Amino acid sequence: EQEELHCIGCGVPIQTEDKEGLGYTPKSSLQKSEESGKALYCQRCFRLRHYNEIQDVSLTDDDFLRLLNEIRTKDALIINVVDIFDFNGSIIKGLHRFIGDNELLLVGNKRDLLPKSLKKGRLIQWMKERAHEIGLRPEEVLLTSAKKKEDVLELLSTIEEYRQGRDVYIVGVTNVGKSTLINAIIQAAVGEESVITTSQFPGTTLDLIEIPLDDGHYIIDTPGIIHREQMAHYLSPNDLKAITPKKELKPKTYQLNAGQTLFLGGLARFDYLEGDKGSFVVYTARDLMIHRTKLEKADAFYQKHVGELLQPPTDLEHYPLPELVRFEFTAKEKMDIVFSGLGWITVPKGSKIAGWAPKGVAVIRRKALI
Q: What is the contact surface with ligand GDP in residues (CB under 6 A)?
A: 56, 109-110, 112-113, 145-147, 172, 174-180, 224
Residues in a beta bridge with 219: 168, 211
The CB-of-209 to ligand GDP minimum distance in angstroms stands at 11
Query: For residues 250 and 292, which CB has a smaller minimum distance to ligand GDP in the complex?
Result: 250
Q: How many Cα atoms within 13 Å fall on the side-chain side of residue 239?
A: 24
Nearest to 102 by CA among 168, 174, 182: 168
CB 142 within 8 A of CB 152: no
**Single-letter code of the amino acid located at 45:** C
Query: For residues 144 and 351, which CB has a smaller minimum distance to ligand GDP in the complex?
Result: 144
Query: For residues 175 and 204, which CB has a smaller minimum distance to ligand GDP in the complex?
Result: 175
The CB-of-169 to ligand GDP minimum distance in angstroms stands at 15
The CB-of-227 to ligand GDP minimum distance in angstroms stands at 11
Query: For residues 149 and 334, which CB has a smaller minimum distance to ligand GDP in the complex?
Result: 149
Buried-state track 84-111, b at ≥16 Cβ within 10 A, e below 16: bbbbbbbbbeebbebbeebbbbbbbbbb
Q: How many Cα atoms within 13 Å fall on the side-chain side of residue 10?
A: 28
The CB-of-144 to ligand GDP minimum distance in angstroms stands at 7
Find all residues with CB under 8 Å of 122, minimum gap 6, and list them. Answer: none
Query: For residues 112 and 210, which CB has a smaller minimum distance to ligand GDP in the complex?
Result: 112
Find all residues with CB under 8 Å of 274, minimum gap 6, and list them. Answer: 258, 351, 352
Query: For residues 147 and 166, which CB has a smaller minimum distance to ligand GDP in the complex?
Result: 147
Largest CA distance in the chain: 75
Q: How many Cα atoms within 13 Å fall on the side-chain side of residue 333?
A: 4
Query: For residues 155 and 262, which CB has a smaller minimum distance to ligand GDP in the complex?
Result: 155
Q: Which residue is nearest to ligand GDP (CB)?
A: 177
The CB-of-305 to ligand GDP minimum distance in angstroms stands at 28
CA separation for the pair 131, 134 (Å, rounded): 6
The CB-of-143 to ligand GDP minimum distance in angstroms stands at 10
CB 326 within 8 A of CB 270: no
The CB-of-141 to ligand GDP minimum distance in angstroms stands at 16
